[in-house]
Amino acid sequence: MPFVVPRSPDLPPVSWLSYAMTTAGVLPLIWRRRAPVAVLAAILAVGGIYKVTVDGPGQPLPYAGLIAFYTVALQCTLRVRAAVGLATVMVVAASVGWETGTARELLFTLFVSAAAYALGRLQHARQAHTEAALARAAELERANRIEAEQAAARERARIAREMHDVLSHAVSIMIVQAEAGPVAVRRAPERAEAAFEAIAETGRDAMAQLRAMLGVLRTEEAAPRSPQPGISGLAELVDRVRASGLRVGYGRSGAVRELPAALEATVYRVVQEALTNVVKHAGASAADVTLVYGPGTLTVTVTDDGRGPGDASGGHGLIGIRERAAAHGGTAESGPGPDGAGYAVRVSLVTSRLEVGN
C-alpha cells in the first residue's frame, strides 16, 4: 500500500528492510508440508523480530502464521498439536499484551487461530474419508476383477467340457464305424452302407453342436443359439451308439417329469460321456442307461459288461462328469458294476431347488 497511498508524514519512510522481513515471514510456507512445526516457529519468530526492530509499512497481516497453524492441525499427531497449541496461545497472549493488552484483541486473535485449527482438522477428516473411499473403490475393483477372472475360468472350463463331450463322443463313434466299415464291405455291403451313413450323421450332429458353441464366443454379432440337448434327445443318442454295434438299453422310472433346461443338458452330457467311455475303453458288448426320478432327485446310471474306462482314475471324461454333477448340488460315483461285473457310472442330481420355478 505505501507504493499506492503515501504514508503519514509523521511515520518514517518505508525501507527495503521492512519488505525483506515481511517476505521472510511468508517464504517458509514453501516447506510447510515437510516441517509444519518448524515453519510455524520460523514465521512467528520473524514476526516477533519485525515488530521489535522494524517499523514497517502498516500492520503486518497474520495470514502466514494462520496457514502454518492450519498445516500443523492438518498433519501432526495429537501430542504435537497439543504442544504447538499451548505454545501458540502463549505467543498470542504475549503479542497482544505487547500491542494493546485488551481482552477484545486477545479473544479475536484466539478465535481466528482456533478457526484455522478447526479448518485443519476438518480437512484431515475429509482427506481420511476420501482415502477410505478410494481404498474401498480399489478393493471393490480388485474383487470385481477377481470375480471376472473366476467367471472366465469357469466359462472356459464349461466350454472345454462341452467340446470334450461333443468331440470325444462323435470321434469315438466315427472311429468304431470306420473300423467296422472295411469288414462290412467284404461280408455285408448293406451294413457297410449303414455304417458310412452313421459316420456322416454323427459328423453332422457334432458339427451342428460345435457351431452352436463357437457361435456363443463371437463378439462381433449376436450368434443364433440353438437349445442345448436334453433328456428328450437321449433316445436318439442311444440309437447312434447302437449303430456302432453296442447293444444299449434305455429306460426311465419314477415320477417322470420335465426338468429345467440346464439340468436336462447335464443329464444328456453325462450319459453321452459315459457311453463314449464304454465305446472307447470298456471293450463291452452291452450297456444300460437308466434314469430314476425320485422326490427332489434324479439318478442317472450307466452300466456295461466291459472292463471299465481307461481314464477311471482321473481322465477328463469322468472329471467332467463329477464337475457337472457338483454344479447341480449332486454327486458322481464310478466303479465296478453290480456283483463286481462290468463298470458303472452313477450320478445323483438335486432337482427340488430347480423345480420351484417350473
Helix axes 189-216, 234-242, angle to 10 degrees: 140
Q: Which residues pair with 347 in a beta bridge?
A: 300, 332
Three cell numbers, residue 211: 457351431
Residue 210's Cβ-side half-sphere holds a number of Cα atoms within 13 Å equal to: 15
Query: Structural domain boundaries of the chain?
Result: 16-135, 247-358
pLDDT digits (tens, 9 = 90+) for 232-267: 889 988 888 887 778 889 999 988 888 888 888 889
Three cell numbers, residue 282: 470298456
Three cell numbers, residue 10: 509523521
DSSP element (H, E) containing 247: strand 247-254
Instruction: Give the angle subtended at the CA of 269 by the CAs of 265 and 273, to the nearest 5°.
Output: 175
- The closest alpha carbon to 60, from 27, 33, 21, belongs to 21
pLDDT digits (tens, 9 = 90+) for 44-96: 888 888 777 775 555 556 789 899 999 999 999 999 999 998 998 888 888 77
Taking phi over 0 as left and psi of -120 to 50 as alpha, with beta for the rest, 29 belongs to alpha
The CATH-assigned architecture of domain 247-358 is: 2-Layer Sandwich (3.30)
Instruction: Assign 3-class secondary structure to 319-334.
Output: HHHHHHHHHCCCEEEE
Contact assessment for residue 69 and residue 43, using Cβ atoms and an 8 Å cutoff: no
Handedness of CA 136, 140, 145, 150 (dihedral sign): positive
Q: Which residues pair with 348 in a beta bridge?
A: 299, 331
pLDDT at position 138: 86
Three cell numbers, residue 112: 481466528
Cα separation, 127 vs 325, whole angstroms: 51
- For the chain, residues with pLDDT lower than 70 are 1-3, 12-13, 55-61, 164-169, 176-177, 179-195, 198, 209, 212-227, 308-317, 353-358
> Rounded to two decimals, what is the model's pTM?
0.47
